[in-house]
Structure 1
Amino acid sequence: MKTYICVAHAGGQGKTTVAQLLFRNILRKNSKYNLVSADFVDDTGRSKIGKFYPDQVDELGTGARLIAAKLENDPNAALRYWDKFGTILMRGSAVIDVGANVVSLLKQWAHHRSAFRVLQMSNAPPSEILLVCKAEKHAIEDVAELVSTIADNKFIPYEHVTVVLNEVGGSFGRIDVRSVIKEAAPDASVRFVSLPRCTSELWTQLEQTNTPIDRALEMSDREISETFGTDIWSATAGLADLKSWVTSVDKEWKNAGIFK
């Protein structure tokens, strides 16, 4: 089964939200999918998405510490650290949330471990790569650079590359994202999908309490009111808006071919 990899070249682009939406949709059809995070882990031992799904996330962290390489007297210790990432790709059936500070490390690992060739040789299941960006010049340029790297076979084999245009910070409007990416990677085949801003009154509470989107959708209006300490009017309207938003995103992504 496919591996879905959510990537952003900077923090705050919305990749964890994208990973949640992917995991929710896929899990309804295949309960054997795993959730993996290659991202910063704080003192609780959990990454950002790990806080949304406690004890359900395989936490890879951000790489081997420098002291590990010194103790082992092995300069390749940091590379070997990411072999587990490669093993997950070989197995498939995972949604991987890749932190911004990890992207460059994975690119180095893929290059030195000949990941593209090894994964092809091993008949690894295909990967779907989703690159997330907001309507910001530097974010779009970063995504274009990632597309260029992937298209040049410097990363891993993939079936599709999808750019998720996250409108949380505003509309892309006159920003010609396609042209920027086309200039950076003229031969790359890229799909584009939108992630509209969620206007539900519940969104802030979901973020602050690390409540997964799928969990909120399973709750009743009264459960929402009691859980988040809001009145029934806000709870009812907020839940209706959240359901409408998720339905619209699911529909667009399904039409784009992300979901079968």
Structure 2
Amino acid sequence: MFCTQCGNQLPDDSRFCSRCGAPVGAPTSAVNQAVSATPQTPPAPAAPAAAPAASPAPAAAPAPAAAPAASSAAPAPAAPATMPAPAPATAPAASPQAPASDSLSMLPAFVQAMSNRLGEPAQYIPELGAYLIVTKRFSAALANMHQHFFVSAYDAAGYPEMQAYMKACSDWALNNYQGALRGLQKGVVSYAILLQHPLNANAVAFTKELPKKHFAAFDLPILVDPFTGACEMLEKTPVWGFAMWKGIKKAAREALGF
């Protein structure tokens, strides 16, 4: 026996087709009505198929990928990397460069040492920018000489600056001389001492020039490097006032500690 609807072979005692569910022996039209009713169940599976369509929602999951974007934004905090601002710490490096390489920084100690050796106080002369120590000590040859030790510092001094310094010191000593009038028995010695580092060749050249003759007035320019101990002054002894000049140079060395 066969199904009148789908042609499926059926057992003789079957009442319904096992394939399409049509009643055995039912007219074809009735079978069609039954079949039309059954297909409505298949649509149900179609609904599940729609469910996968909903699966695209997970596709939205890539949104987390935006999170990496946030992480890329995270570098913004890296701005603190500009912390190189601590560069100011390099400032200390500048201090090593400032090792008392300028003679002016050595001036106070140098003047104090001279004051101790001469046993006389030092006073500052503003118009000269120099310290002054006055004494009448030392050899018998200089017993009647007022000795003015002027001490200043100027690293950039050359020939003209040294010349101007010597003249200013000499003029000050002559204009501020205290005591009896200068004469054969009284005199003034001006030691224009300048600290300099390093020593300038042109300034040194000035110290080597023979001084001009002055009646009972003597000028001795001296250059001293406070870092190396180098000292430059007149080497030759002028024929005029030979004995006096010899004593003046000796007094200068003793006052300077050389």
- Normalised by the length of structure 1, the TM-score is 0.29
Higher relative contact order (CA 8 A, sep 6+): 1
Indicate the structure (1 or 2) with the bigger Cα radius of gyration. 2
- Normalised by the length of structure 2, the TM-score is 0.30
